[in-house]
């Protein structure tokens, strides 16, 4: 996606937030009716601007707790917030990501709420969530975890990840750097498929060195991206930087049918190898590059289709020798 396209998406989203802010301040305004139309229109604009996955966390599905947390402001309307995915789907965005913040409320309520949300999207639109994020309450600028007594243990957290994996096998499970290295290691084995590395949680944190007390959330895993990639390689995982499906228009029910039949693996595996190779060429330390190249050499032999394997081998050579980029299935 080009910088202009990204700028367009940010512009549409920012205009929506500003529009809603003014409306909510007007007590005479029928927020629900107008907001639905307005937002539908803007979801369409986001889709036209080329948005990939639209991710919105519910925080908690428990209405009273939600309203207690958001007494005023653009997020204060529980129903409006809970129905955002429906408006996004109806506005043409067929790739959405859900998540709750475990610890705000009783975990079992939110866990069931999350599963029911996924079930609802699948039943109504034929497409469940592309991703589910599983953050836990951590210390932040405006959150003191000691004020909440619904925190969940590492063991319970691992169980939640395992059951999610079984309940929605087609969905990417995301865990953030707010979890420790040990915890991330454990849940990776249980079904987490997407992790971040070298995250910054303060505004402008990627552009400048982050000050210790400027972040929105405490980050437990503070390793650099290179360290995270090297760690994944050591454990035998293939770190993939692939975003091919969005860019090939493989979204919504088209994506889901490939996912549920397992055929998506014919794209994911070769794409993982080629995008990892690009990362190794452009950003990795010499040590990480050495481990990664070794893994690619071994893994490329596991591409089952002979023709596809030949294409991957050719592309890997072009990435290394001709500095070519952006190959994908």
* 3-state secondary structure at position 126: coil
**What's the CA gap between 94 and 107, in Å, rounded?**
28
Stretch binding ligand SF4 (CB under 6 A), from 66-74, 86-94, 145-153, 262-270 = 262-270
Residues 265-304, one symbol each (x = binds ligand SF4 by CB under 6 A, - = not), give --xx--x---------------------------------
**What's the CA gap between 264 and 285, in Å, rounded?**
31
**What's the CA gap between 256 and 127, in Å, rounded?**
7
Measured from the Cβ of residue 152, the count of other Cβ atoms closer than 10 Å reads 19
Residue 174 as a binder of ligand SF4 (CB under 6 A): the answer is: no
153 DSSP β-pair partners = none
The 8 Å CB, 24+ separation contacts for 69-73 are: 69/104, 73/24
Contact pick of 196, 202, 216, 243 for ligand SF4 (by CB under 6 A): 243
Q: Which is nearer to ligand SF4, 134 or 268 (CB)?
A: 268
Q: Which is nearer to ligand SF4, 216 or 243 (CB)?
A: 243
* Token pair of 292 as six digits: 């990664």
Task: Give 238's Cβ-side CA count (13 Å radius).
Answer: 23
Please, what is the minimum distance in Å from the beta carbon of residue 74 to ligand SF4? Answer: 31
Residue 177 as a binder of ligand SF4 (CB under 6 A): the answer is: no
| 35 neighbors 82 (Cβ within 8 angstroms) | no
Size of the site for ligand SF4 (CB under 6 A): 9
Q: Which is nearer to ligand SF4, 88 or 258 (CB)?
A: 258
- Pair type for strands 172-175 and 54-55: unpaired
| Residue 248 main-chain phi, psi, to 5 deg | -95, 5
Q: Which is nearer to ligand SF4, 102 or 329 (CB)?
A: 329
Residue 245 as a binder of ligand SF4 (CB under 6 A): the answer is: yes
Residue 240 as a binder of ligand SF4 (CB under 6 A): the answer is: yes
Element housing 312 (H / E): helix 306-321
Q: Which is nearer to ligand SF4, 158 or 268 (CB)?
A: 268
Please, what is the minimum distance in Å from the beta carbon of residue 259 to ligand SF4? Answer: 7
Residue 264 as a binder of ligand SF4 (CB under 6 A): the answer is: yes
Residues 11-40, one symbol each (x = binds ligand SF4 by CB under 6 A, - = not), give ------------------------------
Size (the chain), residues: 329
Q: Which is nearer to ligand SF4, 118 or 244 (CB)?
A: 244
Q: Please work out, in degrees rounded to the nearest 5, the angle formed at the alpha carbon of residue 190 by the alpha carbons of 188 and 195.
A: 25
* Token pair of 252 as six digits: 């919504």
Task: Give the dihedral sign, CA 134/136/139/142.
Answer: positive
Q: Which is nearer to ligand SF4, 130 or 136 (CB)?
A: 130
Please, what is the minimum distance in Å from the beta carbon of residue 174 to ligand SF4? Answer: 12
Please, what is the minimum distance in Å from the beta carbon of residue 284 to ligand SF4? Answer: 19
Residue 242 as a binder of ligand SF4 (CB under 6 A): the answer is: yes
Stretch binding ligand SF4 (CB under 6 A), from 112-120, 181-189, 239-247, 300-308 = 239-247
Q: Which is nearer to ligand SF4, 58 or 240 (CB)?
A: 240
Residue 244 as a binder of ligand SF4 (CB under 6 A): the answer is: yes
If you write DSSP's letter for every residue of 221-237 in order, what string do you get? ----HHHHHHHHHHTT-
* Helices within the chain (DSSP H only): 3-25, 31-49, 63-69, 78-82, 84-90, 107-125, 154-167, 181-190, 225-234, 244-247, 252-261, 265-282, 286-299, 306-321
Q: Enumerate binding residues for ligand SF4 (CB under 6 A).
A: 240, 242-245, 264, 267-268, 271
């Amino acid at each position: 996606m080009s910088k202009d396209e990204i700028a367009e998406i940010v512009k549409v989203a920012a205009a929506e937030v500003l529009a809603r802010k003014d409306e909510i301040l007007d007590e005479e305004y029928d927020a629900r009716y107008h907001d639905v139309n307005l937002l539908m229109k803007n979801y369409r604009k986001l889709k036209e601007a080329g948005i990939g996955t639209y991710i919105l966390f519910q925080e908690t599905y428990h209405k009273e707790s939600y309203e207690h947390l958001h007494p005023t402001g653009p997020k204060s309307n529980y129903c409006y917030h809970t129905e955002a995915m429906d408006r996004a789907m109806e506005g043409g965005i067929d790739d959405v990501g859900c998540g709750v913040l475990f610890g705000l409320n009783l975990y079992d309520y939110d866990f069931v709420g999350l599963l029911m949300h996924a079930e609802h999207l699948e039943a109504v639109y034929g497409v469940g969530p592309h991703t589910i994020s599983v953050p836990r309450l951590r210390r932040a600028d405006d959150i003191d975890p000691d004020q909440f007594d619904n925190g969940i243990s590492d063991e319970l957290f691992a169980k939640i990840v395992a059951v999610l994996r079984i309940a929605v096998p087609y969905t990417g499970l995301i865990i953030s750097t707010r979890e420790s290295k040990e915890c991330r290691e454990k849940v990776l084995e249980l079904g987490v498929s997407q992790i971040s590395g070298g995250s910054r949680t303060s505004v402008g944190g990627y552009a400048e060195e982050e000050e210790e007390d400027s972040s929105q959330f405490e980050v437990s895993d503070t390793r650099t991206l290179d360290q995270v990639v090297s760690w994944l390689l050591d454990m035998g995982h293939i770190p993939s930087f692939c975003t091919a499906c969005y860019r090939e228009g493989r979204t919504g029910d088209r994506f889901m049918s490939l996912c549920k039949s397992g055929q998506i693996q014919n794209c994911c595996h070769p794409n993982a190898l080629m995008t990892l190779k690009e990362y190794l060429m452009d950003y990795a330390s010499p040590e990480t590059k050495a481990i990664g190249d070794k893994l690619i050499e071994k893994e490329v032999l596991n591409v089952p289709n002979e023709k596809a394997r030949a294409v991957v081998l050719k592309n890997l050579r072009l990435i290394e020798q001709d500095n070519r980029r952006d190959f994908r299935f």
